[in-house]
């Protein structure tokens, strides 16, 4: 299986002046903190009855630069060391695709905490849509905001840049690939989990009513319209417009997350996987300006900067990667900056919108025989 889903480099436009909301305020994994800690307690209770000399193995799949899960992984480590002992060996696997920025990841995971006890971080450069670890080796697997990326590109979105612009045929192709990918992800993690182990994922998604993330008014359609306008105005070429495609991303519904279990896949049954829970969450981004009604111009400016800060980290590479290799690096960055200038102007003019994301938390357990 080819690995297509893009590298998530945590670029930030404003540097220290305005923080990157994806990292500082997002921490989407924390939305599943309760489920993760509850699962961890069950694993620990089970292990206490057996030998504790074995390493406690946890993994973060689709970790990107590690910042989004850093605090949560540290808390998991603290809980394990408190319930066992400081000397308890803990192996933390950090997985992402081979082209990920693992140098940045290494700095994040090593630079935030003092070495306490026997903690062994291991980096796994491999697609998460195949098995990454031996059978029955993981106690706890987590993943946050990763599985909406598909393993490969299956179509070219002709009239836009994202699934919101896809026609029926394009949408069908993407839906089928997303279905195959989620099955592969669940089965691969099921093989890796020890009996009694848990998988907890927090996935960007749509909900049962069809509501999707809306970071700006009119959502993904509006984000794509800025690129369309730049193509019409010949800021970018038609070829660059088509290359600037977010066509490897799919927002699953709760029903689609349940599908490997409702379809009674034989692998799911043979692995004794249990779907513990599927829960949708509408998460409003937090910032003081988002709650202000009838903002003045200063508040609108701060609001618009925060909106850009929430979109820049994951949209930057989509735009940058679509630009022609014949352009200089400075010209590429100037075009990317123009896109975000347009976005900021739009956000300023629509500052009454309160941005939100839709997530679906999925908890899966591997049962004992």
What domains are there in the chain, each with its CATH number? 21-212+247-284+356-366 (3.40.50.150)
Say if residue 116's pLDDT is above 70. Answer: no
Which tokens belong to 72?
């949560």
What confidence score (pLDDT) does residue 113 get?
Answer: 57
Segment 97-122 mean pLDDT: 83
Residue 175's φ and ψ, nearest 5 degrees, are -65, -45
Residue 226 near residue 362 (C-beta atoms within 8 A): no
Say if residue 50's pLDDT is above 80. Answer: no
Residues pairing with 363 in the sheet: 200, 277
Q: Residue 343: which pLDDT band, with cuts at 50, 70 and 90?
A: very high
- pLDDT tens-place string over residues 56-96: 999 999 998 888 888 899 999 999 999 887 788 999 999 99
What confidence score (pLDDT) does residue 27 get?
Answer: 60
As a whole number of angstroms, the distance between CA 185 and CA 188 comes to 5
Segment 292-308 mean pLDDT: 96
What confidence score (pLDDT) does residue 84 get?
Answer: 84
Residue 313 near residue 67 (C-beta atoms within 8 A): no
Using alpha carbons, list the distances in angstroms from residue 321 to 25, 50, 81, 333, 335: 26, 50, 43, 11, 12
- pLDDT tens-place string over residues 152-203: 989 888 888 888 889 999 999 999 999 999 999 999 999 999 999 999 999 9
What confidence score (pLDDT) does residue 114 get?
Answer: 58
Residue 324 near residue 240 (C-beta atoms within 8 A): yes
* pLDDT, the chain, mean: 88
Which tokens belong to 43?
């694993």
The pTM score is 0.89
Segment 305-317 mean pLDDT: 89
What confidence score (pLDDT) does residue 159 get?
Answer: 83
What confidence score (pLDDT) does residue 296 get?
Answer: 97
């Amino acid at each position: 299986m080819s690995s297509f889903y893009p590298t998530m480099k945590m670029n930030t436009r404003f540097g220290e002046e305005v923080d990157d909301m994806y990292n500082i305020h997002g921490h989407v994994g924390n939305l599943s903190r309760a489920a993760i800690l509850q699962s961890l307690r069950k694993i620990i209770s089970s292990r206490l009855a057996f030998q504790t000399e074995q390493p406690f193995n946890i993994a973060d799949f689709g970790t990107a630069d590690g910042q989004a899960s850093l605090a949560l992984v540290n808390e998991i480590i603290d809980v394990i060391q408190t319930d066992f002992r400081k000397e308890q060996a803990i192996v933390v696997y950090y997985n992402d695709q081979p082209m990920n920025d693992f140098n940045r990841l290494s700095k994040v995971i090593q630079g935030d905490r003092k070495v306490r006890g026997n903690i062994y971080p291991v980096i796994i450069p491999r697609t998460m849509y195949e098995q990454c670890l031996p059978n029955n080796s993981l106690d706890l697997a987590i993943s946050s905001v990763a599985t909406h990326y598909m393993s490969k590109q299956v179509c070219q979105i002709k009239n836009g840049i994202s699934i919101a612009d896809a026609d029926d045929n394009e949408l069908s192709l993407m839906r089928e690939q997303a279905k195959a990918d989620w099955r592969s992800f669940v089965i691969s993690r099921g093989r890796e989990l020890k009996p009694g182990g848990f998988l907890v994922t927090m996935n960007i998604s749509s909900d049962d009513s069809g509501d999707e993330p809306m970071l700006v008014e009119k959502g993904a359609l509006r984000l794509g319209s800025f690129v369309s306008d730049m193509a019409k105005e010949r800021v970018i070429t038609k070829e660059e417009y088509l290359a600037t495609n977010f066509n490897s991303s799919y927002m699953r519904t709760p029903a689609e997350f349940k599908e490997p279990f409702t379809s009674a896949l034989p692998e799911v049954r043979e692995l004794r996987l249990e779907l513990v829970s599927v829960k949708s969450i509408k998460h409003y981004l937090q910032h003081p300006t988002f709650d202000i009604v009838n903002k003045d111009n200063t508040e609108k400016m701060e609001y618009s900067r925060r909106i850009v800060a929430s979109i820049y980290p994951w949209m930057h590479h989509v735009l940058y990667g679509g630009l022609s290799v014949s352009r200089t690096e400075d010209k590429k960055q100037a075009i990317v900056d123009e896109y975000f200038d347009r976005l900021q102007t739009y956000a300023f003019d629509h500052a009454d919108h309160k941005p939100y994301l839709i997530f679906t938390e999925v908890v899966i357990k591997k049962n004992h025989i």
